[in-house]
Amino acid sequence: MSTVNLQSPEVQIRELRLGSITGYEGSAEDLVRCSHAGGLRDSARSFSQCMGCSSGNALCQLCMVRDAAVVNHAPIGCAGDFAGYNFVYRVGQMERNLPPVNGRFFNTNIEEKDTIFGAAQRLADTVREAYKRVHPNAIFVTTSCASGIIGDDVENVANELSEELGIPVIACFCEGFKSRIWTTGFDSAYHAIARKLVKPAQKRGNRVNIINFWGSRIFDPLLNRLGYEADYIVPFSTVEQLGHISEAAATIQICPTLGTYLGAALEQVHGVPEIKAPPAYGVAGTDNWMRELGEVLDRRDEVEKIIAEEHARVLPKLEEYRSRLAGRTAYLTAGAAHGHAIIALLRELGMQVSGAAIFHHDPLYDNGDERSDALAHAVRTYGDIKSYNVCNKQAYELVNILSRVKPDLMIARHGGMTIWGAKLGIPTLLIGDEQFGFGYQGVLNYAERILETLDNCEFVTNLARHSSTPYTKWWMEQDPYTFLGGSAHVGQY
Element (H, E) at 228: none
Q: How far apart are CA 471 and CA 394, in angstroms?
A: 13
CA distance 405 to 393: 18
Q: Which long-range contacts (CB under 8 A, 24 or more apart) does 461-469 make?
A: 461/425, 463/422, 463/423, 463/425, 464/422, 464/423, 464/424, 464/425, 465/425, 467/423, 469/399, 469/423
Which of these segments, 125-133, 202-210, 240-248, 453-461, binds other proteins (CB under 8 A)? Answer: 125-133
- Beta-carbon neighbour count of residue 403 at 10 Å? 17
Q: Is 295 in the site for other proteins (CB under 8 A)?
A: no
One-letter-per-residue 3-state SS of 300-365: HHHHHHHHHHHHHHHHHHHHHHHHHHCCCEEEEEECHHHHHHHHHHHHHCCCEEEEEEECCECCCC
User: What is the residue-wise DSSP string for 264-298?
Assistant: HHHHHHH--PBP-SPP--SHHHHHHHHHHHHHHHT
Choice from 14, 17, 66, 178 touching other proteins (CB under 8 A): 178
Q: In this complex, which beta carbon is closest to other proteins, that of residue 72 or of residue 241? A: 72
Q: What SS3 state is found at 399?
A: helix
Please count the other Cβ atoms lying within 10 Å of the Cβ belonging to residue 204. 13
Q: Name which of 126 and 162 has its Cβ closer to other proteins.
A: 126
Q: Rule CB under 8 A: say whether 102 interacts with other proteins.
A: yes
For other proteins, the binding residue among 144, 246, 257, 354 (CB under 8 A) is 144
Question: 369-401 burial, b for 16+ CB within 10 Å, e for fewer?
Answer: eeebbbbbbbbebbeebebbbbbbbbbbbbbbb
Check residue 334 for interaction with other proteins (CB under 8 A).
no
Minimum CB distance to other proteins, residue 282 (Å):
29
105 binds other proteins (CB under 8 A): yes
**Segment near other proteins (CB under 8 A); pick from 123-131, 240-248, 304-312, 379-387:** 123-131
459 forms part of the interface with other proteins (CB under 8 A): no
- Smallest distance, Å, CB 231 to other proteins? 28
Based on the shown chain and the rule CB under 8 A, indicate whether residue 137 belongs to the binding site for other proteins. Answer: no
Contact range with other proteins by CB under 8 A, out of 177-185, 206-214, 270-278, 438-446: 177-185
Tell me which residues in 21-80 interact with other proteins (CB under 8 A). 46-56, 71, 74-80
**# chain residues binding other proteins, by CB under 8 A:** 75
Min dist. Cβ of residue 93 to other proteins (A): 11
475 binds other proteins (CB under 8 A): yes
Q: Supply the minimum distance, in Å, between the C-beta of residue 478 and other proteins.
A: 9
CA nearest to 297, candidates 213, 389, 429, 207: 207
3-state class (DSSP) for residue 38? coil
Cβ atoms of 427 and 450 closer than 8 Å:
no
Q: Which is nearer to other proteins, 202 or 468 (CB)?
A: 468
Contact partners, residue 132, CB within 8 Å, separation at least 6: none
401 is an interface residue for other proteins by CB under 8 A: no
Q: How far is the CB of 228 from other proteins (least distance, A)?
A: 36
- Give 285 or 480: the residue with its C-beta nearer to other proteins: 480
> In the set 96, 133, 135, 313, which binds other proteins (CB under 8 A)?
133
Judged by CB under 8 A, the residue of 180, 276, 328, 361 near other proteins is 180
Q: What is the C-alpha separation between 427 and 224, in angstroms, rounded?
A: 38
Q: Considering the complex, what minimum distance in angstroms separates the CB of residue 137 from other proteins?
A: 18
Using CB under 8 A as the binding rule, whether residue 107 contacts other proteins is answered as: yes
**Which position among 5, 12, 115, 329 is part of the footprint of other proteins (CB under 8 A)?**
115
Q: Is 492 in the site for other proteins (CB under 8 A)?
A: yes
Strand ranges across the sheet with 352-358: 23-26, 388-391, 352-358, 329-334, 409-412, 428-430
Task: Figure out which of the listed residues 110, 157, 269, 330 binds other proteins, where binding follows CB under 8 A.
Answer: 110
Nearer to other proteins, 104 or 195 (CB): 104
Residue from 109, 268, 329, 403 that binds other proteins (CB under 8 A)? 109
